[in-house]
Chain A
């Protein structure tokens, strides 16, 4: 009898507490999204309106004028094309090569497997600062050797390759832990049927990897899209830059064009926001596949 009373009291207290917690976290949540909302709002206000009435006035009109201007004056289509040229092959190659590694490491018992996996994962954790000086020299040397200095340095291929080399560690790690969940019997029956290693990978394992590959695609696309460091240190021509590092430069150039910059930032954020709202399950599962195993 008395335990039930205690329980009820306890529950009531907990309920009140939960409401307080909800309100508290809620206020912070609003503060959290506010900077983004404010940028969105600034991007929709015409420049003249802002000039005349100030930032805190009630807007007379809201329109997409800044967006059209930003696209035109900031050269955004070019930056977006560069981003696509870099991101699509980089994601594809990362996943393809990573899945090859993961396939061998998790389906065949070689003594070097764990060492290789460790080595790849460790490589993925190195700070980029430790790599870029010799990499930069190496790219230039390779370029000079083939007679065209800009074969890798200041070229989309150079950025693609370093992304692939770097992110492959993560992809291998995630895919190999995913592959461990695929029953061994599937591989064994393939072997008994006399399937070659090639068939075993392409016809049997690869199709089963689809969910993990989908998650990784979303995650890798977001990461490579958002990369700032490699594009910055490995390109010198502005017209080769992807949108993220291009935006870094535009920040300086359009510093007084308050709402134009706001529109530019919103446009640059749009692909990642679309991913966020449409594919967030994949994003989260890709992230957690890699980090919360064990």
Chain B
């Protein structure tokens, strides 16, 4: 271990000495162009949004920007009940994904990895929705759920008196969540399945010989071995739940009032209330909520590099 470290240290020095001006230019361009693009189009706007969330601005002339302090946030927290509805919906979303969809994806991966009968077909079936765009997903589910759609038809509901899956406040969030899970479960299954391939089959055989039940094997052998993948899957679940936007937009449009979530609130306040930068404040709140999972992801993936 030590000798390789010294080795790379010496080669580092010799390399640095060997760079010709042309090489230095090449390296500069190789790093410079992607970094500039990334900084200008991603980080500068991101930081600007955070800064703008503390201002009032009509969004037309830069001179019109006025400092607002925490006024936008104050407005959101104390005078915008829909924010709390949205937050609640995002929490429900997170709970649904975290407690139902993601565990189902993991269990599915586990069973498919055991190569139970029909596993190839199962994998295909659960994986198809992952490649479909949410626009297509929205249309497909609309066919199932609209007043003259399949489910109302099979329930024998007349077109004049259908169950309004998207309209009824009692369950429309769960209808949306089912659609979102259609995709999420397959995605998690794929990620987990790839991780499971790396688990030593001998571990599992040993557990089986000891008479461990499937559930015990899963809990005591698979889950601990899969710790890194578990973290990634959890983080993805959290980020997806916070970022959620497409499916709600597809079903309800920008108004999205029926199922408010943070990801669509940003929009309503862009087109609706041009005077403030409330939209930016929503985006910033969304970001603050995402910081935790983002850091967890980075820590997990860069653990070795940072050491």
Contact = CB atoms under 8 A, between A and B. Distances in A.
Given A117-B305, A127-B290, A131-B49, A276 B18 contact: no
A82 interface: no
Point out which of A42, A116, A165, A188 has the most chain B C-beta atoms below 10 A from its C-beta: A165
Contacts of B270: 133
Given A130-B283, A261-B139, A172 B34 contact: yes
The A interface, classified by DSSP as helix, strand, loop or mixed, is helix
B44 A134 contact: yes
A126 B20 contact: no
Interface in A120-136: 120-123, 125-135
Interface stretch (A31-39, A59-67, A206-214): A31-39
B122 interface: yes
Contacts of B121: 26, 29
A251 B290 contact: no
Contacts of A35: 140-141, 143-144, 182
Interface string B56-90: 00010000000000000000000000000000000
A161 B45 contact: no
A155 to B, nearest CB: 14
Contact of A265 (B126, B127, B140): B140
Contacts of A134: 44-45, 48-49, 52
A155 B297 CA distance: 34
B55 to A, nearest CB: 12
Nearest to A267: B136
Given A108-B27, A196-B26, A287 B191 contact: yes
B297 A42 contact: no
Contact of A101 (B8, B19, B34): B34
A118 interface: yes
A85 interface: no
Interface in B228-282: 228-229, 232, 236, 239, 242-243, 245-246, 249-250, 253, 263, 266, 270, 279-280, 282
Bin the interface of chain B by size. Answer: 35 or more
B287 A127 contact: yes
A119 B59 CA distance: 29
A117 B11 CA distance: 22
A282 B174 CA distance: 33
Contacts of A191: 15, 18
Interface string B23-47: 1001100110111011011111110
Given A104-B30, A125-B297, A130 B125 contact: no
Nearest to B154: A56
A232 B191 CA distance: 29
Contacts of B112: 25
B116 A25 contact: yes
Interface in B200-236: 208-209, 211, 214, 228-229, 232, 236
Given A122-B294, A123-B42, A229-B245, A288 B194 contact: yes
Interface string B112-153: 101011100110011111011111101111111000101001
Interface of A: 6-7, 10, 14, 17-19, 21-22, 25-26, 29-30, 32-33, 35-36, 38-39, 42, 55-56, 97-98, 100-101, 103-104, 108-109, 114, 116-123, 125-135, 137-138, 161-162, 164-166, 168-169, 172-173, 184, 188, 191, 196-198, 201, 222, 225-229, 232, 244-245, 247-248, 251-252, 258, 261-262, 264-265, 268-269, 272-273, 275-276, 280, 283-284, 287-288, 291-294
Interface of B: 8, 11-12, 15, 18-20, 22-23, 26-27, 30-31, 33-35, 37-38, 40-46, 48-50, 52, 59, 108, 111-112, 114, 116-118, 121-122, 125-129, 131-136, 138-144, 148, 150, 153, 182, 190-191, 194-195, 198, 208-209, 211, 214, 228-229, 232, 236, 239, 242-243, 245-246, 249-250, 253, 263, 266, 270, 279-280, 282-284, 286-287, 290, 294, 297-298, 300-306
